[in-house]
A and B are shown apart, each in its own frame.
Chain A
Amino acid sequence: MTDRLDIDGISKRYGEVFALRDMTFDVRAGELYGFVGSNGAGKTTAMRVILGVLAPDAGEVRWAGQPLTLSTRRRIGYLPEERGLYPKMKVGSQLTYLARLHGMSATDAKASADRWLERLGVAGRRDDEVQKLSLGNQQRVQLAASLVHDPRILVLDEPFSGLDPVAIDVMSQVLREKAAEGIPVMFSSHQLDLVERLCDRVGIVRGGQMVAIGPVDELRSTGARRILVDGPRADTGWADDLAGVRMVSREGTRTMVELDDGTDDQTVLRAALATGPVRGFGERRPSLTELFRHVVSEDVPAEDGSQR
């Protein structure tokens, strides 16, 4: 049995409001999983259920095939969305304390705290109070706090917020290493370019439900094919008469068209050439950001409408 993290049909309701509705996904061992969705979509609630600090109304969370217990939850490394450290406690003793609460011996905890502070480039701040650090350094310490007890699962809520490019590289590198150790790593982020670059798979959440799951490439290639044509002489309606082709947008000399299945892109090229020179012609796949906008702006399916 691999150390896969299964989130199986979890629901959570506050009064009349569904925070989570039958959410199901899995984070495989050794995988970097991006968890995206607009504010209030239920990402943090889902993470709290995984951490066991919030009991779901239905569904369960399993790790390596077994429901999570208090002792397995101690193996989770968690980075909360907002700062989760004692502001007036020294960096070093804070990390040692957290490691010990997770069951490490005093000496192991100290060694591990020192190792991560070194690794994340904040070893020099060991004896400073957390509140004296810059926001970026606080976030590094926060990451160290989620790693210090040598977790077997990583759940990170907005780990990249407030980091400078160098810190983002360090953070990305550490997450990749952790995944390479065979640990399921999931993180939420609004920096979609980063998610696109880093993650093996992505889950998009809307209204407490998972609406799209898959590798970024796969998600990007779903939907109709789009082609971007750059024809300086083409007039506004040059593609209107082509069967199975719709114009999506036109900016300056550039036209974006959408092709129905089975439509040959070469007919589009011929039509474009008929208007004059063509400077550019190519398939255009949506970025994760566009995909995200598209998915999030869709109406909630009618069958769930009654529950809202």
Chain B
Amino acid sequence: MTWDAVWLIAVREMMARAGSKVYRIGSIVMVLAVVGSVIATKLIGGDDTGSTVGFTPSVAQLAAPFQSVASAVGQTVTTSAVDETAGERRVRDGELDALVTGTPAGLRVVVKKDLPEDLRSALTALARQLALDDQITRVGGDPAAVNGAVGSASFVLRTLNPPRQHEDARLLLAIVVGILVYISIMVYGQIVAQGVVEEKTSRIVEILLTTIRPWQLMAGKVLGIGLVGLAQLSVVMVAGIAAGYATDSFTFPSALAGSAALWAVVWFLLGYLVYALVFAALGALVSRQEDVGGVTAPAVMLIVLPYVAGILILPADPDNEFVTVLSLIPLFAPFLMPMRSALDVAPLWQVVVSIGLTLLLIVVLVWLAGRIYRNAALRMGSRVKIKDALRAD
């Protein structure tokens, strides 16, 4: 019966939370936000698909040289052969970014409004190339041979601080994971505190504690609300990854997104347990919803601090020592370690140590929070001092 009661309480919590409008609307908003940001990254970085440039028959032979010139300056372009009238219409309709016409010696470019900067540089390079080829031919040289020699000229690059692979993608993942873990722990921790106070305010705690022990009530509440939070976080992340695949936005190996999501879940669970216990104990100290904010403020600060440090410092300086030290401290690890893992700057030993320390803290908190909760849950009226709650009943 011991754990049956805990489960009964957990199920009630799940029904009460998941059945509420706030939860459903909140979930939808979070899913939309994550899916939206995935799609936004595709639109922002969307230039990779390149521009389409039409060539009229008079300059058709320039299509191939243009492509090689464009790729030399880092542009991806698609060329298509069109006649002048059709080409102009397609420029006007936005199907073509530019239409090249005229003669090799006198190039004319038609655009709808203005010439994009990258196309301008590619076309300028093309015009110069044509002029250069012309001059080489005049002095009796072979333009193809000269171009070949010029094209193969290069240099050896030595990077002192080699960049990580897919740095941008990792940065994005780190920020998304950081925000999700932060929001989830903050929201569900607060729900635990409110739930504990709700039972005190409504005095149902008196009835409940005649038939079950205080730790069962606390454990059931923490378990039920945690499962609801886990479900929401999982749905949001699955939706985000699915959106990434569906819209073809992931330009990096999918394992990166997968492992970031996995660490987010692991650290949400650990961090939620830490803070749910803290919030349950703090909530038990007061009897009115108005007092929840005041009594939980210190814990809220402990959540905000590492989050802000992570979001502000990590993107610019992933190896920051201050953040590295913070990420090993159990109270802060749940927010910083998943970001560092996503950035690929957390060595395995650090991850293992911080998980171990966090588990240790949870064991201590189970005892501490259980004691405070047991001694404070039935004391109505003014705020109970932690010192009094810790004293044996």
Chain B interface extent, by class: 20 to 34
A78 to B210, CA, bound (A): 8
Q: Does B44 lie at the interface of the complex (its beta carbon under 8 Å from any beta carbon of A)?
A: no
Closest-CB distance, B391 to chain A (whole angstroms) = 11
User: What separation, in Å, do the CA atoms of A70 and B5 have in the docked complex?
Assistant: 13
Q: Which of B23-31, B84-92, B200-208 contacts A (4 or more CB under 8 A)?
A: B200-208
A101-B203 CB under 8 A given contacts A48-B378, A86-B198: no
Shortest A254–chain B CB gap in Å is 46
> Is the Cβ of B207 less than 8 Å from the Cβ of A84?
yes
Query: Given A48-B378, A97-B8, A85–B204 Cβ distance below 8 Å?
Result: yes
Complex contacts, B210 vs chain A, CB 8 Å: 51-53, 73-74, 76, 78
- A54-B378, A55-B393, A89-B16 known; A101-B202 Cβ under 8 A: no
How far is B9's CA from A149's CA once the two chains are assembled, in angstroms? 17
Number of A-B contacts (CB under 8 A): 60
- Whether a CB of chain A sits under 8 angstroms from the CB of B313 is no
Tell me if B128 is interfacial: C-beta within 8 Å of chain A.
Answer: no
> Which of A55, A88, A146 is the most central at the interface, judged by chain B CB atoms within 10 Å of its CB?
A88
B207 and A80 contacting across the interface, CB-CB below 8 Å: yes
The residue among B9, B202, B203, B207 with the most chain A CB atoms within 10 A of its own CB is: B207
Q: Is the CB of A101 within 8 A of B8?
A: yes
Q: Distance in Å from the Cβ of A245 to the closest Cβ of chain B?
A: 51
Please give the distance in Å from A35's CB to the nearest CB on chain B: 17
Q: How long is the Cα–Cα vector from A139 to B1 in the complex, in angstroms? A: 29
Q: Mark B199-233, 1 if CB is under 8 A from A, else 0.
A: 10011111111111100000000000000000000
Contact B202 A70 (CB under 8 A): no
Residues in B with CB closer than 8 Å to A101 are: 5, 8-9, 208, 211-212
Please state if B211 and A74 are interface contacts (CB–CB under 8 Å): yes
Residues of A within 8 A of B393 (CB): 55
CB within 8 A of A84: which of B9, B15, B204?
A: B204
**Distance of A171 from chain B, by nearest CB (Å):** 18
What's the nearest-Cβ distance from chain B to residue A82, in Å? 5
By a CB distance below 8 angstroms, the chain B residues around A48 are 206, 378
Interface residues of B in 1-57 (CB under 8 A from A): 1, 5, 8-9, 12, 15-16
Does A145 have its Cβ within 8 Å of any Cβ on chain B?
yes
A146 to B204: give the CA distance in the assembly, Å: 12
Q: Is the CB of A78 within 8 A of B207?
A: yes
The interface residues of chain B lying within 8 Å CB-to-CB of A51 are 206, 210
A97 contact from B12, B199, B206, B213, Cβ within 8 A: B12
Task: With a 10 A CB-CB cut-off, give which of B198, B209, B212 has the most chain A CB atoms.
Answer: B209
A93 to B378, CA, bound (A): 24
Task: Give Cα A80–Cα B202 distance, bound, in whole angstroms.
Answer: 10
Overall SS of chain B's interface: helix
* Closest CB in chain A relative to B15 CB, distance in Å: 8
A252 to chain B, nearest CB (A): 47
Residue of A nearest to B214 (CB): A53
* In the bound complex, CA of A146 to CA of B81 (Å): 86
Interface residue? A98 (CB, 8 A): yes
B213 contact set on A, CB distance < 8 A: 70
Query: A84: which B residues are within 8 A, CB to CB?
Result: 202-207
**B residues within 8 A CB of A82?**
203
Counting chain B CB atoms within 10 Å of each CB, the highest count among A52, A83, A98, A101 belongs to A101
Which residue, B206, B208, B209, has most C-beta atoms of chain A within 10 A? B206
Chain B residues, Cβ within 8 Å of A76: 210
State the CA gap A163–B118 with chains docked (Å): 82
**Contact status of A100 and B209, CB under 8 A, knowing A48-B378, A83-B203:** no
Q: How far is the CA of A103 from the CA of B4 in the complex (A)?
A: 9
Complex contacts, B202 vs chain A, CB 8 Å: 83-87
User: Nearest CB to that of A47 among chain B residues?
Assistant: B206
A226 interface residue per 8 A CB criterion = no
Q: Would A73 and B211 count as touching, CB distance under 8 A?
A: yes
A103 and B206 contact, CB distance less than 8 A: no
Q: How far is the CA of A48 from the CA of B205 in the complex (A)?
A: 12
Report chain A residues within 8 Å CB of B204: 84-86
Kindly list chain B residues whose C-beta atoms are within 8 Å of the C-beta of A88: 16
- Please measure, in the bound complex, the distance between the C-alpha atom of A73 and the C-alpha atom of B208, giving whole angstroms: 11
Chain A 75-119 interface 0/1 with B at a Cβ cutoff of 8 Å (1 = within)? 010101011111111000100011011110000000000000000
Indicate with 1 or 0, residue by residue over B95-119, a CB within 8 angstroms of chain A CB atoms: 0000000000000000000000000
Bound-state Cα–Cα, A145 to B204, Å: 10
**How far is the CB of A138 from the nearest CB of chain B, in Å?**
11
Chain B positions 171 through 206: 1 when the CB is less than 8 Å from some CB of chain A, otherwise 0: 000000000000000000000000000110011111
Q: Could you tell me which A residues sit within 8 Å of B by CB distance?
A: 48, 51-55, 70, 73-74, 76, 78, 80, 82-89, 93, 97-98, 100-103, 145-146, 149
Could you list which residues of chain B lie within 8 angstroms of chain A, going by C-beta atoms?
Answer: 1, 5, 8-9, 12, 15-16, 198-199, 202-213, 378, 393
Known: A53-B209, A88-B16, A101-B9. 16 other contacts (CB 8 A): A48-B206, A53-B378, A54-B378, A74-B210, A74-B211, A76-B210, A78-B210, A80-B206, A82-B203, A85-B204, A86-B198, A89-B16, A97-B8, A101-B211, A103-B211, A146-B207
14 contacts between A and B (CB under 8 A): A51-B206, A53-B206, A54-B378, A55-B393, A70-B213, A82-B203, A84-B206, A84-B207, A86-B16, A86-B202, A89-B12, A97-B12, A145-B207, A149-B211
